[in-house]
Amino acid sequence: MAAKDTNHKPRLAIASQQSLVEIRHSLPFPLPGEAEFPSPPAMANALLRLELSLSAFVADLQEITNIIRSDIGLTAQLLRLAAREIEESPDRVVTISEIVVHVGVEKLRALVAGTMTLPDHFKSHARTTARERLWMHSRLTALVAEELAGESSEVRPEEAHLVGLLSHLGDLPSLLGWTPTGPDAADHHLIGYRMAKAWGFSRTLADVIGGDREVCLTRKSRALLELVTVADIWASRLEFLAARESPAVRAKNPPYGLGRG
């Protein structure tokens, strides 16, 4: 894999992004990497549920954590906020629950207000369908990874869930209409690695998203990569079996990744 080459930083043409996502209020604080990659959107229902949870008289931090960790966009946004707010070891994977407690409700509200919505009103649009499949596949991969981590002495379930959810981060540009440039623009692993680095993710998390075992130099990162690779395969198998049992499901939601280059 070419993830070892970190000198080139792709830029993105984002003129089409406003047609893909609803514009919300701008954030009162900057997040890392905005000049290189736009902020990712989140599913509308996840944003709504999170807004309601954050507006409750007593905030349920576990519920807030569960909502965020079910959505790629919200998770990526929270990790960017953590990179801005939390001093951490580059090799440590800080979990969503830890970040939620650290940043507090007010900053979470601001983050939600500044996160764009992934549209769901063009159901017949092929790209929209592919985006929804990515969100569903990522959630399933995360759940499988979390289950597999129960049998591991090196990986915590919450860490496994996080890397499973973000393992296809590099697919977002093509699905959201961003246009990467440069010689490596077609390599979704490398794009994901560079997104993670630009957004301030920990070195371990970025290396695992890059998908290259040669770059994963620590025992933890190698264990996470091996686990999430297996989880991704199992998630695809489960999607395939579900689709095979139902022609309607197969036509509407084929397994994520079929036909990918």
Q: What is the pLDDT of residues 64-75, one digit of tens each?
A: 999 999 999 999
Residue 172 lies in a domain: yes
Please state the rounded mean pLDDT for residues 45-52: 96
Structure-token pair, residue 18: 């406003």
φ/ψ (deg, to 5) at 225: -65, -45
Number of domains in the chain: 1
Establish if 59 belongs to a structural domain. yes
Q: What is the CATH number of the domain that holds 220?
A: 1.10.3210.10
pLDDT 10s digits, 121-162: 445 466 668 888 999 999 999 999 999 998 888 899 999 999
Q: How far apart are CA 187 and CA 170, in angstroms?
A: 8
DSSP-derived letter for residue 256 is: T
In a domain, 242, yes or no: yes
pLDDT class for 28, splitting at 50, 70, 90?
confident
pTM of the model: 0.83
DSSP string, 19-88: GTSB--PPPSS--TTTTTSPPPPEEHHHHHHHHHHHTSSS--HHHHHHHHTT-HHHHHHHHHHHHHH---
pLDDT at 7: 46
Mean pLDDT of the chain: 84
Residue 8 in domain = no
169, two tokens: 């981060």
The per-residue pLDDT for 253 is: 62
Q: Which residues span the domain enclosing 29?
A: 16-252
Q: What is the pLDDT of residue 12?
A: 47
Q: Residue 6 domain-assigned?
A: no
Which runs of consecutive H residues, i.e. helices, occur in 150-211? 157-166, 172-176, 188-198, 203-210
Write down the pLDDT at residue 24: 61
pLDDT of residue 15: 36
Give the SS3 label for residue 180: strand
In a domain, 120, yes or no: yes
Residue 39 lies in a domain: yes
Structural domain contains residue 74: yes
List pLDDT tens digits, range 194-247.
999 999 999 999 999 999 999 898 999 999 999 999 999 999 999 888 877 766
pLDDT, residue 122, reads 46
Task: Find the range with the poorest average confidence among 3-17, 31-45, 223-237.
Answer: 3-17
